[in-house]
Amino acid sequence: MINVVIVDDEEPARAKLHRWLVGEPDIEIKGEFADGLSAANSILRDAPDVVFLDIQMPSLSGLQVAAQLELDASPLVVFVTAYDAHALAAFDLGAIDYLLKPYDEERFRRALDRVRNRLHAPEHRRMAVRIAREQTGISDRLLVPAGDGLRMIDSTGIHFLEAEDNYVHVHTADQNYLLRRTLRDLLQQLGEKRFVRIHKSAAVNIAEIDVLTPLFKGDYELRLRSGRVLRLSRRYTNELFGRAGR
């Protein structure tokens, strides 16, 4: 079975997709959502195979939702849009599929056929995330787990990132959020203009650096404005000093 999530802030649009999907013998609808935050929570929690994702939604757009997903763990995304010139130009490359409102059942069927053909091709899953990030640019906000749901935090409030296996600890002034992401992928999303690696498994918000103290063999002790002390590996000193303007 192909597990599908429908995301659109307009009820008639969700109802139309539901009506056409529910009759497919290999499709199971796992959820229907009217906003991006609820959709993102479902995607990260339930890991659906396919998401029909509306682009224009209040608060958190479909592109912003897709941009927050992990490259190697994202569902296959079919974007749905009334009109978005920049997005359509990217989608027309054929790498991912979209439905342009108002679409008819024939167009929907073509999209569904492509979904079935591409379901087990990882490059098509990754492409939706890459294109969404290109369209939205560097993320100033990050979706993080909060209780049974998700919340948005400003990336300026992140002090440092610390990788542990396939997870990343996101440290702020008073919270530690655990994301199932790689450090490399997260830095690509947040942009390395604000963050810099200090170790193979850690990166720091440059604005939070307070004091650097030399240790031995080229390493440094790095103290943040919060008082937290981290280790700056010799391998990453040139990058940090160059970015900090030393």
Judged against a pLDDT cut of 70, whether residue 94 lies above it is answered with no
Measured CA to CA, the distance from residue 108 to residue 19 in angstroms comes to 12
222 and 188, same domain (yes or no):
yes
For the domain that residue 120 is a member of, what is the CATH number?
3.40.50.2300
| Continuous H helices in the chain | 11-21, 36-46, 62-67, 85-91, 105-118, 122-136, 183-190, 237-244
Instruction: For residues 10 and 73, state if they share a domain.
Output: yes
Residue 58 in domain: yes
Specify whether 69 is located in the same domain as 161. no
Separation CA 209–CA 190 (nearest Å): 18
End residue of a domain, out of 99, 114, 136: 136
pLDDT score of 204 more than 80: yes
Question: 120 and 156 share a domain?
Answer: no
Report percent pLDDT > 70 for the chain: 93
What is the number of structural domains in the chain? Answer: 2
Q: Which two tokens stand for residue 185?
A: 């992928």
Amino acid 176: pLDDT: 94
238 Ramachandran zone, left/alpha/beta (phi>0; psi -120 to 50): alpha
CATH number at residue 179: 2.40.50.1020
Stretch 206-215: mean pLDDT, rounded? Answer: 92
Q: SS3 of 180, please?
A: coil
Which strands sit side by side in the sheet containing 229-232, from one edge to the other? 209-214, 220-224, 229-232
Residue 151 belongs to domain spanning: 146-244
**Exposed e or buried b per residue across 197-217, where buried means at least 16 C-beta atoms within 10 angstroms of its C-beta:** bbbeebbbbeebbeebeeeee
Residues 6 or more apart whose CB falls under 8 angstroms from that of 9 comprise 34, 35, 54, 56, 57, 58
Q: Has residue 181 been placed in a domain? A: yes
pLDDT digits (tens, 9 = 90+) for 115-161: 999 888 878 788 888 888 877 777 888 989 887 788 889 999 999 99
Query: Looking at the domain assignment, is residue 141 inside a domain?
Result: no
The confidence score (pLDDT) of residue 71 equals 81
Q: What is the pLDDT of residue 48?
A: 94
Residue 180, pLDDT score: 85
What pLDDT is stored for residue 87 in this prediction?
A: 58
Q: Collect all residues with Cβ–Cβ distance below 8 Å to 215 and sequence separation of at least 6.
A: 221, 231
Q: State yes or no: pLDDT of 233 exceeds 70.
A: yes
What is the β-pairing status of strands 76-81 and 50-54?
parallel
Tokens of 142: 């990050």
Does residue 72 sit in helix, strand or coil?
A: helix
- Convert the pLDDT of each residue in 20-58 to its tens digit: 999 899 999 999 999 999 999 889 888 999 999 998 888
